[in-house]
Structure 1
Amino acid sequence: MAWLSKLRWPIALLVIGLGVLTPLFITVYAEPADVSDPVVFSEYRADFAVAADGTLDATETITAEFPLWRHGLFRYWDIANPNDPDIRQPPDITEITLDGAPVPFELSWEDNRRFRVAKIGDPARYLDEGTHVFTIRYRIAGVLDPGGTGAEKSFPGSEGRPSDARSVFYWNVIPPGWNNPITEARISVTLPGPLTGAQCALGAGVGAPCGDMRIDGRTVEVTARAVPPRTPLSVRIGVDVATPPRPTVPWSQKWDAVLGSAPVWLIAAGVTAVAGLVAAMVLMRTTAESPPGFGVHYTPPEGLGPVQNEYIRTEAVPKHGLTATVFHLAEHGLLTLDQTEPKKWVIRSAGTARDWRAVDPVGAAVATALGVRKPGREFRADGTVSAGATLERATAKMGQAVRQWALDAGLVVRKRDEWWVRVANGVALVLAIAALFRLFGGTVWIVPFGLFFVATMNAWKPGVGLRRTAAGRELWSQAGGFHRLVATDSAESRFDFAARSDLYTAYIPFAVAAGSAALWAKKYQAATGTPAPSPGWYHVAGAHGALSGSSAGFDSFESALSSSIGAYTSSQSSSGGGGGGGGGGGGGGGGSW
């Protein structure tokens, strides 16, 4: 899996990038709704007052005829401006009343925060049948556009020369999304300066003339009758004042879901990302140990078995530690290994009680778990569920034994403050997921939290939370030097097999633990010109004394262990279902609603 470690950052950056851009890939689709809302607006009055700074104060008074079984109205506002993609115009709802009294309402966002929705009414009660009056007051900043905005569009109703003004109020005074028919509409718009003209259209496109449009000083009044559902009433009024400045963002509204609704949040996310990476580097340095020198050693540290050697070198229990331990015990005459069938092996005890008392704690733990510590005992790795369960237990006991040995021998000490890096890593992952669901605004916030998470992933490596003592570092140096002998092919690490051919088989368990058995056999063959010999304690059916210069000769035993463990884990994962076996303990517009 070394290749995966090398590709960690490219893969992480790809995943982070896809997460950030997720809102652009998600299309919000809804089946076209039935426009025949049963609620009819007998009168729709809207009073708009625009201040000199471009802020709109609006009051919509809706007289509605309700049937039975309706809770109230909903009103939504499109915050995007079709004439300027850099403008956002979210409403600030200041008051909503029903029949002159306050009414409960809920605010929400829809379609990647493009629409602000007010759900008006009590979900626990229905309105009485008959006439009800809703009053909605809200404020929107930056509603005055430059004078040329919309000048190219045609309006069926026009008075004066609105395009001669420095600014225009170009607005859907009846929004296009009301699902309700409107019997009579009365609109009043008051602007902060002299008016040069006004235009009006009922309906999309060129539309139809409004019922009546009148300019009175700085106020324009518009009326309309029998307005169908989902029919906008739009006005374009020229006002001779300088266009007030208004905040903009350098991207269109669809990017708000990614970048947020203001540049300050994008900058904040960038600063947080840089600060987070610096913090991650500092935190990870606190968990790292500077390695000692690893001069080549031609023998393993005295008294250490292969699992102990690898653990003090890497602070991790080796993947093939169980096989290496069994081989190590066999090398010392405590076990014999006999293949009876492909993927079936028998492990027999061959040592005396005195021999077993002298074994290292890791070997003792494995032998005890396999039930072969006493003379005459045997264990069959035959692919059965029970054999797999025993091997799983032996693997767990081996890990516990080597960790406890390192602590008891004073080779490592606990350093619990390093575990806070793991806590920070977990928190960063939670925050990155929260950012994906836009709990912080734009998904760009995935970047700082995601980068911190990836930069601190090594906090979950074995050894974090432990620190080698001086004695442990000395042993680390020796173990690392011996690792160079069995796991590297450098000229410096060459071994005189001709003089000590017996050490090839003696070091096989260490090569297996290091994952370098193939290289160890290859080194022997390169040095001697003959295939690596098969150990005397390893009896493979049909084999005749050599391992053919590779680790293939050990694959049968490893395969037998894997087969047994696989049978056990499969039995655990398939113990569900309906029966009881294996299931016990131990496991902008609106409408009515």
Structure 2
Amino acid sequence: MTGSRAAHRRGVAATGGSRRPRATGRGGVLALLFAAAVLLLLPSTAVAASSATGEGMQSFKAVYDVQTDGSMRVTETITWRFPPGQERHGIFRNIIVRMGWNDEPGRYRYFDLTDVEVSSPSGAPDEFRVSDNGAAQEIRIGSPTEYTSGTQVYVVAYTLHDVLNPITADGKPATSSDQASTVELYYNVFGTNETTARDAVQIEVKAPDASTKVACFQGPQGSTTACAARAGEPSTFAAANLVSGDAMSILASYPAAAFDSVQPVVLEGDSASSVGSAAAPALNAAAWVAGIGAPVLALAVMGTLVWTRGRDERYADLTPGLSPSSGSGASGDGTPTAVGAPTVRGGHTTVAVQFQPPAGVQPGMVGTIIDETANPIDVSATIIDLAVRGYLTIEENAGSGFFSRTDWTLTRQPGPSDDRLLPYERKLLDGVFGSRGDVVVLSELKNTFASTLKAIQAEMYREVVRRHWFRTSPEAQRGVWQGFGMLLVVGGFLLLFFGQGALQAIVGTGFTGGFALAAGLIVSGGIVTLLGRRMAAKTAEGSAVLAQSLGFKEYLVTAEAGQIEFEEASNVFSRYLPYAVVFGVADRWASTFAKVAQAAEAAGQPLVMPSWYLWSGATMPDFTSIANGVDSFSTTSTGTFTSTPGSSGSSGFSGGGGFSGGGGGGSSSGSW
């Protein structure tokens, strides 16, 4: 959804409803008092922070206007410092709207986000678009055709619904049948996935009654480090010098009597005709024709587009995997090898065994070209590949209890130069280590890495476009068509459930065409969504790399132990193992090397085990145990990278107290 360009912008999120916040009228005197109070609360370092260099939030000021129905009108004033000497289109805000619920599988808490408004008092481009981004709604601000730089101010306003927690007298969540004694706002101003530095943060919470108790926490997930908080009406909170990975959570308790019956949202027509009976049959017939014709038209148009643009290109009259100018394997480093060479569309990929991976093509890139998707397993394989290349080591930590789970310690190494890393590889290393230091336990990344994963995947899509394997991002291509398809589906359901009665009110009770038109839109949307998945076509260069990748997979599953020289065996095992993980054939690759190791032992030339993976077993490691450990690591890390923190309706003041990142919702930011 995109807002129109104007001095003051208004938009509604895709999941938004019709609810509106109540109007409030508080004077400027209160704002001045709040500003003065915050200056007293902030540490002295906050003033100096404004002179900091590098990208970040120079200040973040927000007003949370809590309503009696449990919703909260949020107005954020963000002073953003863009990187010196660089231009950006604008900024984005990720607002969490879905969270796990009390560790219950298959259930989540939902915060409806509506009534989005954006403006820029400093004159920066303030067009905006609201879209789903995993568990968040992303508000992307700025124009793709305009740039901004320096320090800019953005005002972002939106309404979050059902943010309050009803609490009983003993500090437990109050259900609809319980009597709540208090109502709490336990909210993450920022989640631990916020990587932007924030020099000064000021929060003002307005409510129908004065708060009786407040708390504020800042730091990594689970931190109990307090930040400034003051109860009353309004309540105020402040923090300074928050760095990458620091969350900030605020907690305020109010008398339940000041609110309606609030509960968290947990998810698992006839009137007279004004057109006249003479026009009704014609309109009815037209609606039926449109309802039947829409799917036919959608199938014809999408079928034509898939045939003419959605099929992969291939070099004409060349063996798959070859490029015309090189006369050999496809260029994997992004250099176009055959500009203007004749190409054709369609046909099947002929697979010939390739004894090496495509030149210059990393495991994560192989995974992306094969299924046109940057999957989390491709990111996990990239970590393994970086370990093989000397950027880190992976140490297996076996649990001691019967029900304990294996964990892994990742240690960054000072070996190769970072200049040799691709952008997505550098972002991955910075995301894993970054502010956490050079030693990180994999489980520590749980619930904090999801937004970083999204950024890494975005860089991987940029990389395949840079290498000329796709003309545009395959994710973006699919997203455009699937978004259009879902728009048709949603429009059909709205017409089915709400529009039919309105049409009958206008045309007459005999009008039934609304049902046909709604069904036609729904079916058309399904066709567009389904065929839209096939619109991410590879270029001829991408098809050549795909053929080589599939040929290399064929080698990994058919390689014989006798084909591998003892002198190179250990190096070959490590270099090719990340590719085997991507292909899902790590066990087959390991069994081949188990036979190589046996033959080498018998010949008196025992193989040296890889040093980048430290096994936890009691016996000496072998290739099978290392491959099994790496395979288990890739599976576990995939789940860890995609996990998001859960939410609870319990009181933040009981059960050991609150902590940073422990509330509902949350947000993260960045520039683009």
Structure 2 length-normalised TM: 0.40
Give 1 or 2 for the bigger CA radius of gyration: 1
